[in-house]
Amino acid sequence: MNPQEFLDIIYGFQTSRILLTSLELEIFTVISEGAKSSEDVSKLISSDIKATDRLMNALCALNLLEKYNGKFSNTNFSSKFLVKGKPDFISNMMHAVNLWDSWSRLTSIVRNGKGTSKVTSGSKNWLENFIEAMHYRALKQVPGDIDMLDLTNVHTVLDVGGGSGAYSMGFVKAKEDINAVVFDLPDVVPLTQKYISNAGLQDKIKTIKGNYLHDDLGSGYDLIFLSAIVHSNSFDENKRLIQKSADALNSGGQIVIQDFAMNEERTSPASGTFFALNMLVNTQGGDTYTEKEIYSWLENADLKEIKTNITSRGGAQIVGRK
């Protein structure tokens, strides 16, 4: 790395903030019906004319808008991916807007070691953005992730902290005789039910409201799936959660933990190192864990045949059998 490359990283926040502000103001959506001047846009979004103009000029520099004769229009990319309501709209971007504030507190949090409350805390809008972001990401991953699993004797799946139910949808589509249950917080489940209803899978997927750290998970499951769950919890919370999950399994059933699996030095994968900081600023005890640590939870719960599958995007899928 040379000094200029280092400075480019330092000032990378400017580009990020330009994009996040533009998304908050829905600029790409506002001009989707035709070219508009910055004055036209400022009236539509109730903003300052000069400030809006400078923001839109910067978007031109980033090749996300085009300007001709004083009027702005979307590029092909912006028109396809950044306009709300379009089929390819990247809907998980608003979650990044919400993360901006928590990441801005990183220095003080590193000093005192105290993060905020759970990831799912916050306003209704925060929660909806979070679930939408997770759903958008999961839709691209579900088929490949489920294909890696042995579903031979699986008929009942518990999707712990299942959010939108994207993985439950994948399970019931992968095998006709599978039924799934999404277990999530009371504030989340109404959102889950909307996603399930939109997919027309109400007869195959049920929901249970609860806190997986404190409430009973039930029993009689052939597979318990925990995707992007353990990084939200402390080591000891995960140890208890995996034991509780094992108790809810039928004999021969599986627990599947899908998450980051760090090397023993915690320096790789790079995405996991960044996400450890994301958990530091957004949770009280969350972290990314090493493969050895994840194995220890499963071994403590007397699970056998523990193995690791590596997903197409480099993540880990760690499976243990009762």
Q: What is the pLDDT of residue 157?
A: 97
pLDDT tens profile 67-91? 999 999 999 999 999 998 888 888 7
Alpha-helical runs (H) found in the chain: 3-10, 12-24, 27-30, 38-45, 49-61, 76-81, 93-103, 106-112, 124-147, 166-174, 189-198, 235-247, 270-282, 291-300
Q: What is the pLDDT of residue 55?
A: 96
* Distance, CA of 20 to CA of 26 (rounded, Å): 10
Q: What is the pLDDT of residue 99?
A: 86
Domain boundaries, the chain: 3-90, 107-321
DSSP state of 231: G
Kindly list the distances between the CA atom of residue 50 and the CA atoms of 40, 62, 74, 137, in Å, as whole numbers in the listed order: 12, 19, 19, 36
Q: Beta partners for 259?
A: 316
> Residue 165: exposed, middle, or buried by beta-carbon count in 10 A (0-12, 13-18, 19+)?
buried
Kindly list the distances between the CA atom of residue 251 and the CA atoms of 61, 158, 319, in Å, as whole numbers in the listed order: 60, 15, 15
Q: What is the pLDDT of residue 115?
A: 65
What is the biggest distance separating any 2 CA atoms in the chain, rounded to whole angstroms?
71
Q: What is the pLDDT of residue 95?
A: 79
Instruction: Choose among 81, 74, 70, 96: nearest CA to 27.
Output: 74
Indicate the helix (H) or strand (E) that contains 68: strand 65-68
* Distance, CA of 170 to CA of 182 (rounded, Å): 12
CATH T-level fold of 107-321 = Rossmann fold (3.40.50)
Instruction: Choose among 54, 50, 47, 51: nearest CA to 30.
Output: 47
Half-sphere exposure of 271 (CA within 13 A, CB side): 8
Q: What is the pLDDT of residue 120?
A: 42
Q: What is the pLDDT of residue 122?
A: 46
User: What is the CATH number assigned to the segment(s) 3-90?
Assistant: 1.10.10.10
Indicate the helix (H) or strand (E) that contains 183: strand 179-184
The two three-digit tokens of residue 3, written as one number: 């000094």
Q: What is the pLDDT of residue 119?
A: 44
* Polymer length of the chain: 322
Q: What is the pLDDT of residue 124?
A: 56
Other residues' Cβ atoms within 10 Å of the Cβ of residue 262? 23
Q: What is the pLDDT of residue 121?
A: 43
Query: Is the Cα torsion angle 297, 280, 92, 79 positive or negative in sign?
Result: negative
pLDDT tens for the chain, 322 residues long, are 888 989 988 999 999 999 999 999 999 999 998 999 999 999 999 999 999 999 999 999 999 999 999 999 999 999 999 998 888 888 778 778 878 888 988 998 898 887 665 444 445 577 887 788 788 778 888 989 999 999 999 999 999 999 999 999 999 999 999 999 999 999 999 999 999 999 999 999 999 999 999 999 999 999 999 999 999 999 999 999 999 999 999 999 999 999 999 999 999 999 999 999 999 988 889 999 999 999 999 999 999 999 999 887 778 999 999 9
Strands 249-259 and 316-321: antiparallel
